[in-house]
Amino acid sequence: MEAIISVKNLKKSYKNHEVLRGVNFEVKKGGVFALLGSNGAGKTTTINILATLAKANGGQASICGYDCFTEQNNVKRSISLTGQYATVDGLLTGRENLILIGRLKKIKNPAKKADELLTKFNLTESGNKLASTYSGGMKRRLDIAMSLIGDPDVIFLDEPTTGLDPQNRLAMWELIKEMAVTGTTIFLTTQYLEEAEALANYIAILHEGEIAAEGTPGDLKEMLPSGMIKLTFSGGDTLNKARLELTGYRVANFDEATTSISVLTEGTVDELTTILIKLKEAGIEVLKFEQLTPTLEDAFFAIIGYEKEGNE
């Protein structure tokens, strides 16, 4: 399938700080593509360049066949961008916000489109209320509804569930899934790895200015060794001693709250036995032993070379 977004050797620096050092990826038409990375990895910078809001220092990028650097007007007509924070006008009602965007995009009958979107996003009863009275979840729904006006080919959602409570986050997931089913291409960034695992058909991980890995959620999890074990200890002192004894092993998670360590292994009986004997000989008692199935979060931290800390 032909790529609707193509990025080749994309570079961006701010003074002496190199944010993007040669980013390459493609996004196929339809479904949800997630760009993941730690805070400051350059996810928003990448979106801003693709959305023509920032200039690159090098490389190539195109959307729907249009060059993001030389055909910006065509790119803008093909996309919609919803940032990390809702940008609705609190002095207007929800319906007026939608009508305003419809008029700016010169669509036919913006009032009719506004009513359709209010219904779709479960905002009909609040449509004639000032947006300033909306809850955070309602503002985000209105914000995304506004992004759908004009039927863009690509919708950029930059951390769309930031600040939402669990109930509204799950509701937003359902909306994103519904949008993807219609054939719209969703380009998503998120700080919640379980969100990417639940929504994305394809994922790219941005680390130190480059794409460190990409693939389906299943592909990324398969990059890990075939086994992962969770060892639970009696207390913090024992936990820290165990961590020192396990130096040299790939620790995926160190959780002080549950006094446990998760270790990536090759899944062989000999290796598991070696670990348990090593701890026993050091006088460290293992209270509980579990074999785990790696998650996308485990894969993410293994790929970028960090340990997860339970208190983060």
The residue type found at 42 is G
What CATH number belongs to 225-293?
3.30.70.100
Question: Does the structure show a pLDDT above 70 at 122?
Answer: yes
Structure tokens at 75: 């790119």
Give ranges for CATH 3.30.70.100 in the chain. Answer: 225-293
Q: What is the pLDDT of residue 182?
A: 83
**CA separation, residue 91 to residues 33, 83, 98, 251 (Å):** 34, 20, 13, 51
Q: What is the pLDDT of residue 120?
A: 86
Element at 255 (helix H, strand E): strand 250-255
Structure tokens at 93: 């009602």
Q: Please list the residues that pair with 158 across neighbouring strands.
A: 189
Closest CA to 48 of 77, 8, 79: 79
Element at 197 (helix H, strand E): helix 193-199
- In whole angstroms, give the CA distance from residue 73 to residue 50: 12
For the segment 129-142, the average pLDDT, to the nearest whole number, is: 90
Q: What is the pLDDT of residue 85?
A: 62
Q: Reduced to 3 states, what is the DSSP secondary structure of residue 192?
A: coil
pLDDT for 280-310, tens place per residue? 999 999 999 888 877 888 788 888 875 444 4
Confidence of residue 168 (pLDDT cuts 50, 70, 90): confident
For the segment 239-264, the average pLDDT, to the nearest whole number, is: 89
For residue 270, what are the contacts with CB-CB under 8 A and spacing of at least 6? Answer: none
Confidence of residue 311 (pLDDT cuts 50, 70, 90): very low
For the segment 111-136, the average pLDDT, to the nearest whole number, is: 93
For the segment 155-174, the average pLDDT, to the nearest whole number, is: 86
Q: What is the pLDDT of residue 233?
A: 95
Element at 266 (helix H, strand E): none
Q: What is the pLDDT of residue 309?
A: 47
Q: What is the mean pLDDT of the chain?
A: 89
Q: What is the pLDDT of residue 222?
A: 83
Contact 44, 158 (CB under 8 A): yes
**CA separation, residue 236 to residues 130, 188, 258, 282 (Å):** 52, 38, 9, 16
CATH topology of domain 3-88+134-221: Rossmann fold (3.40.50)
Confidence of residue 312 (pLDDT cuts 50, 70, 90): very low
- Residue bearing the bigger pLDDT, 87 or 255: 255
Q: What is the pLDDT of residue 225?
A: 67
**CA separation, residue 220 to residues 27, 202, 253, 285 (Å):** 17, 10, 17, 33
Give ranges for CATH 3.40.50.300 in the chain. Answer: 3-88+134-221
Q: What is the pLDDT of residue 175?
A: 84
Q: What is the pLDDT of residue 125?
A: 94
Confidence of residue 48 (pLDDT cuts 50, 70, 90): very high
* Chain centroid, CA 232 distance in Å: 30
pLDDT for 52-106, tens place per residue? 999 999 999 999 999 999 999 999 999 998 876 667 899 999 999 999 999 988 8
- The pTM (predicted TM-score) of the whole model is 0.79
CA angle 280, 285, 287 (to 5 degrees): 135
Let me know if 125 is exposed, middle or buried by CB neighbors in 10 A (0-12, 13-18, 19+): exposed
Confidence of residue 43 (pLDDT cuts 50, 70, 90): very high
Question: Does the structure show a pLDDT above 80 at 267?
Answer: no
